[in-house]
């Protein structure tokens, strides 16, 4: 399979196989007007298989979403067909409006204008808790 290179844009690489579609949906890439290539189960020497997302536009990508879904991804910034920056992603300390609290009594469920905020409670086990009621995500 051959997917063309992009002149200016972003490549989200080293996505754990099977997690690419979740990233695609959470970033809202379906609403972009530019070309977006989603490659599933691409062969990888390091990972065996991986997913890749190529975005043919210079957009801002929410790294908190990337870190939440798969903190091992890399983001390559492409300018004039060359990688000009390579970002490694980490597990975010705080997530805003990425998750919704499951507790029906949480203030974030009754007060619609409040943002849904989750903080990292256990980095080793990747556990997030609601800022308002401490419910586990």
Which segments in the chain show pLDDT lower than 70?
A: 1-3
Query: Does residue 18 sit in the same domain as residue 79?
Result: yes
Query: Does residue 108 sit in the same domain as residue 53?
Result: no
Query: Does residue 102 sit in the same domain as residue 71?
Result: no
Q: What is the DSSP string of 30-81?
A: GG-SS-EEEEEEEEETTTEEEEEEEESS-----HHHHHHH-TT-EEEEEETT
Q: Is 112 part of any domain? A: yes
pLDDT of 2 reads 59
**H/E run at residue 96:** strand 94-96
pLDDT of 5 reads 80
Number of domains in the chain: 2
Query: Does residue 20 sit in the same domain as residue 83?
Result: yes
Token pair for residue 109? 């469920």
Query: Does residue 69 sit in the same domain as residue 99?
Result: no
Nearest to 133 by CA among 114, 7, 15: 114
Contacts of 50 (CB under 8 A, 6+ apart): 13, 14, 15, 16, 17, 41, 42, 44
Q: Is 2 part of any domain? A: no
Q: Is 25 part of any domain? A: yes
Structural contact between residues 46 and 17, judged by C-beta atoms closer than 8 angstroms: no
Query: Does residue 101 sit in the same domain as residue 36?
Result: no
Q: Is 1 part of any domain? A: no
Give the three-class secondary structure for 134.
Answer: coil
Q: Is 16 part of any domain? A: yes
Residue whose structure tokens are 């801002």: 60
Query: Does residue 17 sit in the same domain as residue 81?
Result: yes
Main-chain dihedrals φ then ψ at residue 20, nearest 5 degrees: -60, -40
Question: Which residues constitute the domain of residue 119?
Answer: 94-130
pLDDT of 112 reads 85
Query: Does residue 27 sit in the same domain as residue 61?
Result: yes
Q: Is 136 part of any domain? A: no
pLDDT of 3 reads 65
pLDDT of 102 reads 94
pLDDT of 133 reads 96
């Amino acid at each position: 399979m051959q997917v063309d290179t992009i002149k200016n844009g972003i490549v989200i690489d080293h996505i754990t196989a099977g997690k690419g579609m979740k990233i695609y949906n959470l970033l809202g890439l379906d609403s972009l007007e530019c070309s977006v290539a989603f490659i599933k189960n691409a062969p990888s020497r390091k990972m065996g298989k991986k997913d890749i997302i190529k975005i043919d536009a210079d957009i801002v990508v929410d790294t908190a979403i990337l870190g939440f879904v798969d903190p091992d991804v890399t983001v390559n910034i492409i300018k004039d067909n060359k990688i000009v920056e390579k970002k490694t992603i980490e597990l975010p300390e705080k997530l805003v409006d990425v998750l919704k609290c499951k507790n029906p009594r949480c203030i974030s469920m009754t007060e619609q204008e409040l943002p849904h905020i989750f903080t990292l409670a256990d980095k080793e086990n990747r556990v997030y808790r609601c800022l308002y009621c401490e419910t586990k995500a």
